[in-house]
Structure 1
Amino acid sequence: MPNRPVGLSRLNEVNCKTVFWNSGSGRSAEVGQVRQAMGSQSNHWIDLAETSDLSAAVKEAVANGCESVVAVGGDGTVNAIVNALMAVDAHARPTLAIIPLGTANDFAGTLNIPDDIAEAASLVDHPACPVDIVRISGTGAPRYYANMAAGGNCVRVSEAMTDEVKARWGSLSYIRGAVDVLPDMHTFRIDATCDDEKFTSLDCWAVLVANGKTNAGRIEVAPLASPTDGLFDVIIIRDGTVGDMVEIVTKNLMGDFLDSEQIIFRQVRSLQLQSSPTMRFTLDGEVFDDQPVQFDVVAGAIRIHCMVGI
């Protein structure tokens, strides 16, 4: 018999659930609250910190009767679970529940999943809604993400958000990181195809490919995005002056930055992009630096237990 991933035993109960959590997140007290909120149901807990092959763990859980996977953690945990689920054949893919921990949880926010642990845990037994996932492909194996890909200077801002900055600034960390990058914004020249519409030699500061509405700690950058419409939102921020960027930030705070002349906004099913220099993206925290790159929506790819009205 092959070795089983840590924590996985035979699943033969009705409507069994496999719960993934990360002991390295430093949130053991909150995980204890999750265990209490989920009660004594037939749940099987697997520690991501002790699981070398997450896709294999999910596939084996499915083979043993798992019908629902629960991701306990932030956007990074959800991203890892989403990629593992997408490796499972669509007809056998279990549903996904999210119990958000931490301060960001952008995708959970888009899905109207409560931050309260008990309330989020109660959704595990609610009906599941088909939700879109985005596939990103380069020269290597494709990756998937649920919330947002942020490229260009957005990656530099993320890198400026050191652990010290995060500890001191909390949910304002991204704005603090942007202050460091703003005086030295890099320009990227891109060729892009949004469905059938082409942009050639376009100079820009950043490209966002959004399935969810918020990024970097509930900062709303794609207010019209919906993870159930079969489309993703493409937001291209043209290059300009520091004053232009300040105007974009101001308009963002006022909720109307998509109308800015510095913004190109499209809702599409696919995006092809080539950049000079190479534009790196963060996919819900994971860095992707392959070029050329293609984004495709996988409509209704994963059924997620969430509130109605997304």
Structure 2
Amino acid sequence: MRKRKQQPVLLLHRKSANRPEVKAAVKAVRRRGVDLLVRIPWNKRDKRKQVKALLREGYSRIIAGGGDGTLNAVADAVVNYRKTGQSVSMGILPLGTANDFAHGLALPCDDLEACLYLAATGKPRPLDIGAVNGRHFINVASGGFGAEVTATTPQDIKRHLGGLAYTLNGLVKLWDMKPYAGALLLPDQPAIPYSMLLMAVGNSRLAGGGFEVAPAADPADGLLDLMLLTEGALTDPTRALAEIQTPLNPDNTLVMYRQAKAFTLESEQLLHINLDGEPITGHRFSFEVFDSALDVVY
């Protein structure tokens, strides 16, 4: 087994590279004696290519500096590389809009210097990673109405209107909202039919800017948490809101909440799922969790 390089590498999202606070954090950490290497990929494809190249070159600590997409790219590469028996770990410099996964780990997201120094020098701890149809996700996989709005909002409108584009597209689709019919398949249990508006599968608990979509989720418990909002919420939104805030209540009828190591969701309609910010579609989604598959500093 080759000897790993101990020099930490910050893989920095291109749009974040010129932010003054990011530059200041890098300089401050270097002044504190950390021999930090910085790499700035050109685009999404180059990002994944560079992570794989750094791992092949023997670097043992890759710090994901960016949002969900950067976290996913680094986590996916590190998990796959660890299968070769190599000791590699991941740090986090939260530079996204919401930084839900970092907040879920209680990282000091408002202090970039503290985050970067911890990511470069801290001791990693094992965390789980989720997968759906063989594709990894580190935080949350969400599906249904919200994911469809995100996936179907035209790119040119996104560029011109930003977040408002999702709101406008969502309002248009709201008038024609139809539930997704399907079944939840849990190991050794009869199929559970559902008619749902949206769902979230959490390895961690936060998504969408701090919302607890899977409040009991723990990325170190060897389980995935499924939260499914049924179509009854359309006729009783007040009760639905209350149940979303208490999803573990056994008396809930509009919110379905389950914890499992593996399960399958089947949908009669084409279902959009947002996988750490990456959209996928299909009719059958097999979810599983890989225990302690990723070493993360937090």
Same fold (TM > 0.5): yes
Partner of residue 91, structure 2: 97
CA offsets 1:118-167 (integer angstroms, 9 cap, x no match):
12113121111101001111xxxx21110000011121343569466656
One-letter amino acid matched to 1:39: R
CA contact (8 A) 1:195 1:269 kept: no
TM-score by length of 2: 0.84
Q: Residues 174 and 209 of structure 1: is their aligned pair in 2 closer, same or farther, counting only changes over 3 Å?
A: farther
How many residues are treated as equivalent by the alignment?
A: 285
User: In 1, Cα distance between the equivalents of 2:123 and 2:145?
Assistant: 39
User: In 2, Cα distance between the equivalents of 1:247 and 1:177?
Assistant: 26
Task: Name the SS for the 1:196 alignment partner.
Answer: coil
Quick one: percent identity of the two aligned structures? 25
Unaligned regions of 5+ residues in structure 1, if any?
Answer: 1-11
Task: Kindly indicate whether residue 130 of structure 2 is the aligned counterpart of residue 134 of structure 1.
Answer: yes
Q: Residues 239 and 167 of structure 1: is their aligned pair in 2 closer, same or farther, counting only changes over 3 Å?
A: closer
Task: Kindly indicate whether residue 76 of structure 2 is the aligned counterpart of residue 88 of structure 1.
Answer: no
CA contact (8 A) 1:280 1:290 kept: yes
Determine which of 178, 197, 206 is the counterpart of 2:189.
197
Per-residue deviation, 1:105: 0.6
Determine which of 287, 295, 298 is the counterpart of 1:303.
295
User: In 1, Cα distance between the equivalents of 2:75 and 2:135?
Assistant: 10
Moved more, 97-106 or 31-40: 31-40
One-letter amino acid matched to 2:126: P
Determine which of 24, 34, 43 is the counterpart of 2:36.
43
Task: Kindly indicate whether residue 102 of structure 2 is the aligned counterpart of residue 108 of structure 1.
Answer: yes
Q: Residues 13 and 233 of structure 1: is their aligned pair in 2 closer, same or farther, counting only changes over 3 Å?
A: closer
User: In 1, Cα distance between the equivalents of 2:44 and 2:269?
Assistant: 36
One-letter amino acid matched to 2:26: R
Partner of residue 9, structure 1: none
User: In 1, Cα distance between the equivalents of 2:177 and 2:55?
Assistant: 46
Task: Kindly indicate whether residue 217 of structure 2 is the aligned counterpart of residue 225 of structure 1.
Answer: yes
Task: Name the SS for the 1:282 alignment partner.
Answer: strand
Determine which of 199, 205, 212 is the counterpart of 2:204.
212
Q: Residues 51 and 251 of structure 1: is their aligned pair in 2 closer, same or farther, counting only changes over 3 Å?
A: closer
Per-residue deviation, 1:29: 2.3
User: In 1, Cα distance between the equivalents of 2:125 and 2:166?
Assistant: 31
Unaligned regions of 5+ residues in structure 2, if any?
Answer: none
Task: Name the SS for the 2:253 alignment partner.
Answer: coil
TM-score by length of 1: 0.81
Per-residue deviation, 1:301: 0.8
One-letter amino acid matched to 2:64: A
CA offsets 1:214-273 (integer angstroms, 9 cap, x no match):
111111111111000000101111112534334323554xx3244331111111001112
Task: Name the SS for the 1:249 alignment partner.
Answer: helix
